[in-house]
Every structure is written in structure tokens, then in C-alpha cells.
Amino acid sequence: MALLLSALFVCVSFCTVNGQIQVPYVPGITPYNLPGRVTASTFSLKMPLCYFNQTLTGCTAAQCEIWLVVARNATAQTLFDAIKGNILNTNVNSYQNAFTNPGTFFLTKVGTQQSFVCDEPTTVQVFRVGSDTTCTALSPTCNGPLPPNADLRVKYVLIDPIISKKVEVESQWSQPILLTQVKTQQSIDEGFGKRSGAMIVITVILTCLTAMLLFGLITAVILPYCGVNRGKQEITAPTSLGSLRVKRYNTHNVHSPTTSTAVTNPNI
């Protein structure tokens, strides 16, 4: 019921600005807590369901196209608003030229009109701006990565590609969308004073564990070589005849007397 009342409110709230129908819709970042809602080169937008379902005379719901205008700043907003009543030349206002100077924008296709009806969505529907990393010069309207630290503004527009080839219906401009700031390596302070207490404790523990591991490794390598000659015992193998005892004896021709013997010379 609430969805029908919302649709009725939208139907009676259309207004015409410079020949284009403007719907009361402000694009914004998806409220769902999705990973990477805003990154350094992308962001996820809510889909404009139930706002672009009015019937046009120039094209059918399967032909009318919903596009997203991505403007770099307020200057680019003003430029688009000045030419939106003309036939849009996507080759001039291409993705490749969008960020070469401050006052530029580009358009990228989101889908056809029939994709934004008032049916209750069964899944989370978002449009991720900047998700196409394969952009080339042959695809001027590709949804390419956005420049780091960019401050962007976006709006949804409905274009009649059959007859007028102009913007027929548009949303309002979004609030400025600031991408995640990217720090340069030179701007990162690596001083010891900038480190947290937990980081210091972890660093000290890892250093001590590394030193202990290194000491244990050195000990395990050196210790076997230090005790290689210790604990050796001479082992006598038993014979098949049992213990063999050999008497000690001395031969007379090599025996040296232990005491001297005096010999009397008979001639003296």
C-alpha cells in the first residue's frame, strides 16, 4: 500500500524544466551496508525505481533508455543543463574526455525504461558507477573507473533514442559524492610516535619469538658437533670360546733386568 501511495505521489509531482520533465528524485549512495559502497574509483547508487515509468510518445518502454550523467563538479553540472535540450553527442562528451578539464561530464547507459517499473524488488538493486575496467576509445559511454579523490555529482535521465534523441525526463542532481581519499606514499607518517600501543607490543613479541627461534636453530645445528668425541667406550666383542685370557710373558733376549748384578772378574 505504501508503495502505491508513493507511486501516486510521484505521478502528481512531475514538473517541466526547460522542456524536460523533472521527477522528484535525488540520486544517492545505496543505504544498504554493501562492501565497497564508496571506494577510491567507484560508488554504488540507488536505482530510480518507479520514477521513470511514465509513457512517452517517441519510444516504448523497451526502447526508451535510462542514462546516468556523471559530472566532475558544479561547472560540469551547469554545462550539461545548458545542452540537455539538444541532441546529445556522446562522442564529444565521452568517458575518455570527462576528466581532462574541470568542466566536463560523461553519460553511461543504465538500462531501458522497462527496467525501472514499480514492482517490489526481490533483491538489492544498485548501479555501481566506475565498475568497467575495460574502457577503450571505441566505447565513449563506458562506465569506467573514476579518478582518485574526485568530487562528483550525478543525475538520471531518460533519453528518446528513436525520434528526438534528447533528454525527455530527468531526476535532480545528487549531492556531491566524495570518493575515498587516496594517500600518497610521501604523506604517510611512518614515525615511531605514530604507531599505536598494540602495534608496538605485537612488534616486540614477534621480534622476541624470532630471536628465540633463531637461537634454537643455531643450538640444534652446533650441539651435535660439540659432543662428537664424548661418551665413547671401547667394546670388546666376545669370542665363541668365551673369555680369552692371555698370560703375559717376556722373552729372554729382549728382557731388561730390573736389578743390576755384580760380576767378579777372576783376573783381578
Residues 117-128 have a mean pLDDT of 82
Task: Report if residue 256 sits inside a domain.
Answer: no
109 occurs within a structural domain: yes
Give the tens place of pLDDT for each residue, 45-69.
Answer: 999 988 988 777 788 989 999 999 9
CA distances (Å), 216 to each of 207, 208, 212, 224, 230, in order? 14, 12, 6, 13, 22
Does a structural domain hold residue 264? Answer: no
**What integer pLDDT is reported at residue 242 of this predicted model?**
53
Q: What pLDDT band is residue 197 in, cutting at 50, 70 and 90?
A: confident
The number of distinct structural domains making up the chain is: 1
Which residue, among 151, 189, 186, 156, has the nearest Cα to 170 in the 3D structure?
156
Confidence of residue 248 (pLDDT cuts 50, 70, 90): low
167-170 and 126-129: which strand pairing? Answer: unpaired
Choose among 117, 113, 95: nearest CA to 105.
95
Query: What is the structure's pLDDT at 256?
Result: 53
| 116 occurs within a structural domain | yes
Domain span at residue 21 reads 2-180
**pLDDT at residue 9 in the model:** 44
Q: Is residue 50 part of a domain?
A: yes
Q: What is the pLDDT of residues 152-178, one digit of tens each?
A: 999 999 999 999 889 999 999 999 999
User: What distance in Å separates the CA atoms of residue 69 and residue 22, rounded to the nearest whole number?
Assistant: 14
Q: What is the pLDDT of residue 247?
A: 54
Q: Is the pTM of this model over 0.75?
A: no
Does any domain span residue 113?
yes
Q: Is pLDDT of 244 > 80?
A: no
CB 144 within 8 A of CB 130: yes
Domain-located, residue 208:
no
Residue 9 lies in a domain: yes
* Angstrom distance (rounded) from CA 167 to CA 66: 10
